[in-house]
Structure 1
Amino acid sequence: MRRTNRYPVKRANSLWHIYDTVPFWKVIKNFIVIQLGRYTPFLRMKNGLYRTFLRMEIGGKTALALMVMPDIMFPENIEVGTNSVIGYNTTILAHEYLINEYRIGRVVIGDDVMIGANTTILPGVTIGDGAIVSSATLINRDVPPGAFVGGNPMHVIYTKEEMEARSENND
């Protein structure tokens, strides 16, 4: 189950209410910072930009690959632990605008997490420590610590215990 706050809207769909939900100049600033970060190959610089200007929580030695797209409206609702890797062109959403409502939720990515390229992470989910996410996965619910998950929608391929057993068999 995703943890989001829901805000109903009347009349037009929720995207028409966008600047009632987030200030215009915040979106402009976030857009510029994110575009700089998406294209910079310097991890320390990218993490510094995101920590300073977007108020994202990013742990030490974490790497957001080229073209990772953090949420442009509410990046301050994204937390990434230490020593994690977020793969190329991954999208991390902390909001979703629907027809009759919009939702905002915190995204928490644990320590030592590996997220494959082209993954989409929906708002309100937690990815547990040591989890591995296959490329092109839609993260639509919490990922247990140490699990290997993949697919659209996401499903558990191996639990932490199965991953540990596989690792022991390969030694």
Structure 2
Amino acid sequence: MKILRSFILLITLLFSANTITYATSNAYNLKNNNISKKLNFELINMTDNDVVEVFNHNDNLIYLTEEDVNLMAKIVYAESKGEPYEGKIAVASVILNRVLSPGFPNTINEVILQPNAFSCVINGEINVTPTEECYNAVYDAIKGNDPTNEALFFYNPSIATCSWMQDVQKTNSKAIGQHLFFNTY
């Protein structure tokens, strides 16, 4: 019986060592061959506890922290209160689209705090407590639901005070609730 237990222990240790070697080897190969940035991140950077969500669009990855999600939910609340749920998702999508666009900063925080980017930041209305619906809209946008056709801009034409928004040439415009979502030429 003692020999059988020793044999099982030996086999278990050998199997564990092979599994660890295989996992380490695969992580090394992924890193060096750049096969998959997402898998590489998951295998190599598993200790990065700050990342709570990953937005993946056309092989572009945005690693989102809890602070990013909270900040996005605040913008969604402040910019789209009274709008339909689809409009809330659309506001969150614009933020993600800007992070992916070379014409904007490459982090959620920098996009949101970019000068004159969001009226609620300018007038202080960002200091709100988002609703669960706002968080759900952010998570739906992170999952890839983008009702805006990859818009980078939005405004409410009936109350906008920015002449740039009204006068600029728009492409792929789409009305959702009271907002118009669009790109520029």
**TM-score, normalization: structure 1?**
0.28
**TM-score, normalization: structure 2?**
0.26
Which structure features the higher share of strand residues?
A: 1
Which structure features the higher share of helix residues?
A: 2
